A and B are shown apart, each in its own frame.
Chain A
Amino acid sequence: QSVLTQPPSASGTPGQGVTISCSGSSSNIGSNFVYWYQQLPGTAPKLLIYRNNQRPAGVPDRFSGSKSGTSASLAISGLRSEDEADYYCAAWDDSLSGVVFGGGTKLTVL
């Protein structure tokens, strides 16, 4: 049972948009930054979003992050087949004094 809650799966067709949610609590998302990672099959994770809504260099603007209260979302617009991957949210947790991850969402591009 992960501290951050994500839907196990999501899907969309090429060109569509999809949103992945991440629910936490006041000790993590509610008081700290949220990060999003993409993990393509068989590869290491890649940072997509940091500090709630910032994109590292090289990440397309099709990816965007937002946060409200104790929840956060990752939005992907203009879906492409290469977006098919596992997506994880993460945040620092003040109560646990550690980084917590969501359980991951497997995105399928139909």
Chain B
Amino acid sequence: EVQLVESGGGLVQPGRSLRLSCAASGFTFDDYAMHWVRQAPGKGLEWVSGINWNSGSIGYADSVKGRFTISRDNAKNSLYLQMNSLRAEDTALYFCAKALIVVDHYGMGVWGQGTTVTVSS
């Protein structure tokens, strides 16, 4: 069974850092692009960042560029999101998502259940 399990969320003060992890199983992790997508309470979906299979292509939303860093460890079947200089507006449920097919990076075919990040003093 294909599965994505996020962890690392929590309550953090503005300006501090947090590192999210996503453990993947049930598929050949290093074949697929991966993404982080977030959803603020009561709001819609917002793409945060994406990374291709070998980390050779990485992208960020303007709202997090320069503050967040996506990475992956194919040997550990894991995806990460390092979040620095956190702001109140970063408060959201953060989902890890896998591309549906190898040749299409942007269709997110499998999603984790998410991990909640709350930025507050």
Contact = CB atoms under 8 A, between A and B. Distances in A.
Interface string A80-93: 00000010101110
**Chain A residues touching B, majority SS:** strand
B45 interface: yes
Contacts of B50: 98-99
Q: How large is the interface on B (under 10, 10 to 19, 20 to 34, 35 or more residues)?
A: 20 to 34
Interface in B55-71: 59-62
A24 interface: no
Contact of A101 (B45, B95, B97, B113): B45
Given A44-B114, A45-B111, 14 more contacts: A33-B107, A35-B108, A44-B111, A44-B113, A50-B104, A51-B107, A56-B100, A56-B109, A90-B47, A96-B61, A96-B62, A100-B47, A101-B45, A102-B44
